[in-house]
Amino acid sequence: MARSDTDAGLGDGGSDRRDPCAAFRLDGRTALVTGASSGLGRRFTEVLVGAGARVVATARRADRLAELADAHPGAVVPVAADLAVAAERERVAAEAEAHGPVDIVVNNAGVADPRPIEQESLEDFERIIGLNLTAAWHLAKLVGTGMAARGSGVVVNVASILGMVGATPMKQAGYTAAKGALVNLTRELALQWARKGVRVNALCPGWFRTEMTAGLGEDERSAAWIGTNTPIPRMGEPHELDGPLLLLASDASSFMTGSLLVVDGGWTAR
């Protein structure tokens, strides 16, 4: 006999269907956010805290992490680390798990260094791949293995539309290669862990105002290029990723895995 909507919850998602907003709550959950000291990572941390999560926030800049923790006493645990170093990633994962099983990982740390390939050294390429891709793979493995053993968890990989389309004239082979690989890593991990209760999705922003894109919105030629190529003719603002992030991090996306959530003002629809 089929259940009615009134006595069925989100089923395996675990939230009450009668209160749609409840599916977005993260009360009692622990999240790990990388690249949390500035830009989107700081915003993501604040959004998850606002939804009820405790967040282990990691980045290199200890002073900024301390400010973030002071602004959210008891809700943000700062862990300064250089995620380009494998041993540091292992330490971060261990410290995060020491605060309780990690329910959510947001792989947000990244670096870009736009330049033509003729000017991009092997060291540049390896550095960009290391932080944007290898670090995300490693943290997903370190924390996701425990999630799979417990039978629940969420990984959100912050990719980019530049993992789906080329960047030129903003030339950056290393960054596009890393983000493209992160997109397919998301799909593969989603398949490997789907039957173990762990969901893996990617958030793919377009051009947003962040520390990484500083100057683009103010430079007349760059602003014109973005405005011309974006159907909603402007850069995105960080708060416009709040909803998409909460969707992927919460039970609201309980039947989503291996998905790419594109938030780009229509850039990739052209």
Which residue in 204, 205, 201, 203 sits closest to 187, CA to CA? 201
Cβ neighbours of residue 51 under 8 Å, at least 6 residues apart? 24, 25, 26, 27, 246, 249, 250
Which residue in 246, 259, 85, 235 sits closest to 170, CA to CA? 235
Pick the catalytic residue from 36, 174, 175, 248. 175
Residue 77: beta bridge partners?
A: 56
CA atoms within 13 A on the CB side of 34: 30
DSSP letter (8 states) at residue 134: I
100 is catalytic: no
Which residue in 86, 39, 36 sits closest to 61, CA to CA? 36
The alpha carbon of 148 is separated from its chain's Cα centroid by a whole number of angstroms, namely: 19
Q: Residue 150 to residues 93, 128, 197, 254: CA-CA distances in angstroms?
A: 16, 33, 8, 16
Structure-token match 């990484």, residue found: 212
Q: Residue 261 to residues 97, 105, 112, 186, 213: CA-CA distances in angstroms?
A: 27, 16, 21, 12, 20
Q: Supply the residues annotated as catalytic.
A: 175
